[in-house]
Structure 1
């Protein structure tokens, strides 16, 4: 199977699983937002934000480090892979045990220190949340390293579907926000068990272990996890700590408004995340075999197509945020300005999803970690300054401002590695901006007339039709290539 066919097949599987995951998340978000009200919704996701900070110490960077060395040794020495997996699991169990025990001992003190003693039951249940989520995520990352993206996709789909069923079930039984958290736990536990069983039978058992574990490989696995841990720490600051700070400085309802805005942008980012997750292992394989020219072409094409989707999507989000939130989430109109500011983050994060994992597989995790660490510290400082003064919009502004710097540094590092054709990329993105401007003018003319969900859908369809027509006319969107990709994806199953 060619690299292109493998990417198409993996992207299709990942996108389908991501669609299942995001659809289930959307349903969960809509129901919980209506049942729990802004205060209950905010309390749930404030607790999850705290737990995801703790999760960082439970996971470190072992999952991505394992995936990176799996990708490398799949090309170099397959006999090392069983040894590598055993080491990773042992390290993970040791770290998980320490962190989970510490959280169980100190959950009440943490809740009091953060100013909300009522959060203690959530943090106690968080011990189970951390363990279940850790193994679910590890199995997905390991499959990414093996380039078995269909299995990774299956784990993600199982996670989303079971989480939806159990969270809504427990809330329906009257257990409220804490019941929703236990729904998350059960969903992650089922997905984690499913993933580990698949990993054992479909990957671990298929390789004959080498007679001896390569000297120093276990140590390198841990060493490479250190910069990845730094990057994960920065990601937590960007994606979770702002939620914690909103809850600390403001109210649970404010957390609910802010979290809703962030979740909606997450849904829009599903395709870019799927593409980045799919193509990144290929960079490691191509570097190992000296095919950097092929890696450059792959990245440039992926970036152009990603921007063709996400720049217009961000513009459209700014225009329709008000009627969309007002009609679908009438209690959450405080989320509208957050969503409009975070439209810029949608574009930035789409580039990040495409670039960050690729840098890790190219062996540039340390440089990315430094950049992420610096910008995340700046993000934390801006949050401290802006949230108390201008509220939840300040948190959104801090995210966009610091992420702009991080994306610029990531692109520079990748350019140093692959020698990107900057002029060609700039011309393509300039064309995309022109298409977005024309689309925005048309949508802005009809948006004031929107008074129902049907009319809102019509406005979105109008923008999509204009975008598609201009994209095809400009040559950025080739229908023959789209049909070829869909045909090859379908033909390969």
Structure 2
């Protein structure tokens, strides 16, 4: 199988699983917001999850990503080191998780008091289990990425999404409320972690004959490389979660519900870009090791152009129809999420680039540079949130996210250019053409938006925009229908 075919195959598998995960997440979001929980309960659930995501940082560190980097390198250079790497990584994780989970269990009530909301204490107590099972579920997905077996990563992710949906809904229907939904998350991640660890042992650990000696210094390099990855992951979580925590701290659970709903919608839209970035990333490390940087550049440029061809129009179209979409799908109680979603549409484009780029930088050995940029952006994001949320409310969190992520994306692109020598002029021409297509599409959608009075009309407006975009993309030569057909089939 050629490299391109391998990427396409991995992308399909990852996209299908991400589709299962995101569709299950979207359905769960819809059921909880529309039918099962009031806005304050919905906000309380996701405020607790935001807090637990910060705790999760200390439980995961950057060990999973570091292990994946060295798995990718050593499975070709010295496969006998793979069993040693896996044992070392899991041992380190067990020690760290035990410490973090123990401290959370002991101090969960004090943390709730510090957050000025004693009612969050039961969520934090249950969070001890959440932290453990989520950590191992995500570790197996990352490890399979290092082995470049993305189908297994896809399977684990799909199981976690479907499990969360099933058990969260069941527990809420049994009358357990928001805390029941959290236990649904826990059960879903438990099943995914069990499946992932079983596959990792049966299909990979047992298949490699351990080297007689563990390479001197490899465990030290594993931990050392996890440091910048930890910094980057910490910054990622601050970007994605600290704003939720601060909205709950300064405002209310209802405000958290508005902000979370906007973020969840953008997460759903971003699934294809995340799948593509997850798929192509291991190839950068392999190609750099083989000295094939021209091929790596071609893959990245093509991926970036196709990603922007989809996401720039999608973000603009979503911003235009945000008001009828939110109020018709989730109900008028969530109208406060409309301005949040409109601002976050800018974040959709930025995050699409990030999803395509960030993992690749880790495999190119530029984790430290990315960590510095991410740390600076996240610190700025935290500071802007402290200023904007108390002054202009929940939209301030969205504005801070877009502003600081713009800086981070610019630095990421610069680092990629320094590694792969991107053809800037060619890329600029293509992006300019995509923006022109987006402008025509936006005019078409704006003309029909005043006619939207029900879901059928909303779908029709989206269809008008999609058809306009598709025709222009084909006529301009940016999309070849035959290539699309061959990829899909």
TM range (shorter): over 0.9
Whether 1:67 and 2:68 are equivalent positions in the alignment is yes
Q: Which residue of 2 aligns with 1:315?
A: 316
Question: C-alpha displacement at 1:30, in angstroms?
Answer: 0.7
Q: Which residue of 1 aligns with 2:19?
A: 19
Question: C-alpha displacement at 1:205, in angstroms?
Answer: 1.0
Q: Which residue of 1 aligns with 2:99?
A: 98
Q: Which residue of 2 aligns with 1:342?
A: 344
Q: Which residue of 2 aligns with 1:352?
A: 354
The separation in 2 between residues aligned to 1:75 and 1:292, in whole angstroms, is 18
Instruction: State how 1:204-215 maps to structure 2 within 5 Å.
Output: 204-215=205-216
Question: C-alpha displacement at 1:486, in angstroms?
Answer: 2.6
Q: Which residue of 1 aligns with 2:296?
A: 295
The separation in 1 between residues aligned to 2:213 and 2:460, in whole angstroms, is 63
Instruction: State how 1:116-135 maps to structure 2 within 5 Å.
Output: 116-135=117-136
Question: C-alpha displacement at 1:75, in angstroms?
Answer: 2.0
Quick one: which of 413, 416, 431 aligns to 2:415?
Answer: 413
Instruction: State how 1:327-476 maps to structure 2 within 5 Å.
Output: 327-330=328-331, 331-476=333-478
SS of residue in 1 equivalent to 2:175: coil
The number of aligned residues is 487
Q: Which stretches of structure 1, 4 residues or longer, exceed 4 Å deviation after superposition?
A: none
The separation in 1 between residues aligned to 2:480 and 2:78, in whole angstroms, is 40
Instruction: State how 1:250-329 maps to structure 2 within 5 Å.
Output: 250-329=251-330
The separation in 1 between residues aligned to 2:42 and 2:487, in whole angstroms, is 41
After superposition, the C-alpha distances for 1:189-222 in whole angstroms (9 at most, x for unaligned) are 0000100000111111111111111111110000
Instruction: State how 1:153-164 maps to structure 2 within 5 Å.
Output: 153-164=154-165
Q: Which residue of 1 aligns with 2:46?
A: 45
The separation in 2 between residues aligned to 1:152 and 1:325, in whole angstroms, is 32
After superposition, the C-alpha distances for 1:89-147 in whole angstroms (9 at most, x for unaligned) are 00000000000000001000000001101100000000000000000000000000000
The separation in 2 between residues aligned to 1:76 and 1:480, in whole angstroms, is 38
Contact 1:75 1:285 in 2 (8 A): no
Question: C-alpha displacement at 1:307, in angstroms?
Answer: 0.1
The separation in 1 between residues aligned to 2:233 and 2:2, in whole angstroms, is 32
The separation in 2 between residues aligned to 1:483 and 1:322, in whole angstroms, is 34
SS of residue in 1 equivalent to 2:38: helix
Structure 1 gaps, min length 5? 488-493
The separation in 1 between residues aligned to 2:447 and 2:206, in whole angstroms, is 60
Question: C-alpha displacement at 1:47, in angstroms?
Answer: 0.4
Question: C-alpha displacement at 1:329, in angstroms?
Answer: 1.4
The separation in 1 between residues aligned to 2:77 and 2:318, in whole angstroms, is 46
The separation in 1 between residues aligned to 2:214 and 2:334, in whole angstroms, is 56
Q: Which residue of 2 aligns with 1:221?
A: 222
After superposition, the C-alpha distances for 1:240-274 in whole angstroms (9 at most, x for unaligned) are 00000000000110000000000000000000000
The separation in 2 between residues aligned to 1:218 and 1:183, in whole angstroms, is 36
CA RMSD between the two structures = 0.5
- TM (norm. structure 1) is 0.98
The separation in 1 between residues aligned to 2:198 and 2:13, in whole angstroms, is 19
After superposition, the C-alpha distances for 1:278-329 in whole angstroms (9 at most, x for unaligned) are 0000001111111111000000000000000000000001101000011011
The separation in 2 between residues aligned to 1:278 and 1:482, in whole angstroms, is 18
Structure 2 gaps, min length 5? none
SS of residue in 1 equivalent to 2:422: coil
